[in-house]
Amino acid sequence: MDEKQVKRRIVLVPVSAQGHVTPIMQLGKALHSRGFSITVIQTEYNRVSSSQDFSDFQFLTIPGTLTDSDLQSLGALQFLMKLNQICEASFKHCFGQLLQEQISRDDIACVIYDEYMYFSAAAFKEFQLPTVIFTTTNATAFVCRSVFAKVNADKFLIEMKDPEVQNSLFPGLDPLRYKDLPTSAFGTIEDSIKLYSEAVKTRTASAVIINSATCLESSSLSRLQRELQVPVYPVGPLHIAATSASSSLLEEDRSCIEWLNKQKPSSVVYISLGSLGRMETKDMLEMAKGLSNSNQPFLWAIRPGSIPGSEWIESLPEEFGEVVLERGYIVKWAPQMEVLRHPAVGGFWSHCGWNSTLESIGEGVPMICRPISGDQKVNARYIERVWRIGIQLEGEMEKETVERVVKRLIVDEEGADMRKRAMDLKENVEASVRSGGSSCSSLDDFVNSLQTKNF
């Protein structure tokens, strides 16, 4: 093939969870708008929607070999590790067939895979296709995972039993404390370390793309660039760079927009724990009581199955229904970006998933942070300590603390200052994705690098 021939197809390999699907599909949209054809390869466990928004994309499904009992018994971390073990061979086989029947190898510029689909590195090497890692978290969390992958699990478990250690700064990761490290709630600490070290071990990609911006975390991005020794491209926030792409795996309930239309400006607390977070009934009741006592209206997205032992909210007592009737609205799944953009929303109570964090920053909405797992703890610390656009709620969930934190954010001067800083950050991230901005230029650099023969 002529070295100068332009390769115009990019293959995406997503992880099958909302928080992972959304940003990689946004990246696909951004690359598509720069003239690339996009092929999305998924396992049968993925349910990426091939909706109208993505009608120009090609979707290919590779059969998986996990049994029903695997699917039921494995926690999320073990599921990912198992998927990586079993996928390499079936991917190679099916991809070989696809190359013969449906797509031309010479047309493929690169394969961009989610950091946790790390089997891709070996699978696509066989086809001599360049691979690029896409991380759905920010650069700081990526740095933390590299550090955490080397932690001695036994020593760490002992250290974490000491509250003083938990609250002390982790060496080299200021302002993160031991307890902010990205341990996962979906497996043991040993599972987290194993998954991270497997992902780190297999990092042979030619570049890393990050859904973040220099104005948010320049020192972590520089550190990553130094440590990885391959180009790092911060191209986010992708939800601003690639508008109008909806990849929601659940049906959005837009009736809440009508309810928001009736509320006063900046008065509503929007609450969501993302696509995986769960909450104990007792904590929800404390939250509901605290919200009620705060006298602020609230919109709550409660996913079916997110309260243990309950299909939706039927296990919650009647008094909770009264609170909602008085000043709340509950949906199963909200049109989150539209909600955050609504002038009635004054604050976002979030589990601090990276997409939610970027979406909140992108609308200048300050946050109440209650992280549950993994990188969310890193994000919460940055929201409170680095960007100073939110308050982290730590310790037991108690109605008095909930009432207080809501008032601090929505009513007090302190909250107004955070809103102002959030608005400043909104302007900065918007500028970064505009033509000439750092993220926009970074995406251009990535695209240009695909045309060089050394990539």
CA distance 455 to 450: 6
- Residue 331 CB, shortest distance to ligand UDX, in Å, is 7
Closest CA to 335 of 253, 272, 393, 274: 253
Q: Which is nearer to ligand UDX, 254 or 420 (CB)?
A: 254
Packing angle, helices 399-410 and 413-433, rounded to 10: 60
Task: Kindly state whether residue 26 participates in binding ligand UDX, applying the rule CB under 6 A.
Answer: no
The one segment of 173-181, 274-282, 290-298, 432-440 that binds ligand UDX by CB under 6 A: 274-282
Q: Which is nearer to ligand UDX, 173 or 299 (CB)?
A: 299
CA distance 200 to 203: 5
Contact 186, 76 (CB under 8 A): yes
- Residue 21 CB, shortest distance to ligand UDX, in Å, is 9
- Residue 114 CB, shortest distance to ligand UDX, in Å, is 9
- Residue 109 CB, shortest distance to ligand UDX, in Å, is 25
Residue 399 identity: K
- Give the end-to-end CA distance of the chain in Å, rounded to a whole number: 15
- Phi first, then psi, for residue 11 (nearest 5°) are -100, 130
Q: Report 292-311 residues binding ligand UDX (CB under 6 A).
A: 301
Contact 213, 237 (CB under 8 A): yes
Q: Which of 26, 275, 306, 442 binds ligand UDX (CB under 6 A)?
A: 275
Task: Kindly state whether residue 354 participates in binding ligand UDX, applying the rule CB under 6 A.
Answer: yes
Q: Which is nearer to ligand UDX, 18 or 131 (CB)?
A: 18
Q: Which is nearer to ligand UDX, 356 or 449 (CB)?
A: 356
Q: Which of 274, 290, 390, 437 binds ligand UDX (CB under 6 A)?
A: 274
Task: Kindly state whether residue 237 participates in binding ligand UDX, applying the rule CB under 6 A.
Answer: no
Structure tokens, 285: 């009741």
- Residue 3 CB, shortest distance to ligand UDX, in Å, is 37
- Residue 184 CB, shortest distance to ligand UDX, in Å, is 10
Q: Which of 115, 359, 384, 403 binds ligand UDX (CB under 6 A)?
A: 359
Task: Kindly state whether residue 137 participates in binding ligand UDX, applying the rule CB under 6 A.
Answer: yes
The kind and range of the H/E element at 241 are: helix 238-241
Q: Which of 248, 263, 360, 449 binds ligand UDX (CB under 6 A)?
A: 248
Closest CA to 253 of 301, 192, 314, 187: 301
Task: Kindly state whether residue 276 participates in binding ligand UDX, applying the rule CB under 6 A.
Answer: yes
Instruction: Give 20-79 as a DSSP string.
Output: HHHHHHHHHHHHHTTT-EEEEEEETT------GGGTTSEEEEEPP---HHHHHH--HHHH
Closest CA to 352 of 342, 360, 344: 360
Task: Kindly state whether residue 376 participates in binding ligand UDX, applying the rule CB under 6 A.
Answer: yes
Alpha helices in 149-188 (DSSP H): 153-159, 163-166
Q: Which is nearer to ligand UDX, 84 or 272 (CB)?
A: 272
- Residue 377 CB, shortest distance to ligand UDX, in Å, is 10
The kind and range of the H/E element at 404 are: helix 399-410
Contact 249, 14 (CB under 8 A): no
The one segment of 11-19, 94-102, 167-175, 382-390 that binds ligand UDX by CB under 6 A: 11-19
Encode 106-120: b = buried (16+ Cβ within 10 Å), e = exposed: eebbbbbbbbbbbbb
Residue 111: C-alpha distances to residues 14, 78, 207, 452 (Å): 11, 24, 11, 16
- Residue 355 CB, shortest distance to ligand UDX, in Å, is 3
Q: Which is nearer to ligand UDX, 19 or 415 (CB)?
A: 19
- Residue 142 CB, shortest distance to ligand UDX, in Å, is 10
The one segment of 16-24, 150-158, 197-205, 438-446 that binds ligand UDX by CB under 6 A: 16-24
Task: Kindly state whether residue 356 participates in binding ligand UDX, applying the rule CB under 6 A.
Answer: yes
- Contact letters for ligand UDX, residues 313-352 (x by CB under 6 A): --------------------xx-xx---------------
Contact 354, 211 (CB under 8 A): yes
User: Sign of the CA dihedral 169, 173, 174, 177?
Assistant: negative
Task: Kindly state whether residue 415 participates in binding ligand UDX, applying the rule CB under 6 A.
Answer: no
> How many residues of this chain interact with ligand UDX, rule: CB under 6 A?
25
The kind and range of the H/E element at 1 are: none
Q: Which is nearer to ligand UDX, 18 or 294 (CB)?
A: 18
Residues near ligand UDX (CB under 6 A) are 17-20, 22, 136-137, 248, 272, 274-277, 301, 333-334, 336-337, 353-356, 359, 375-376
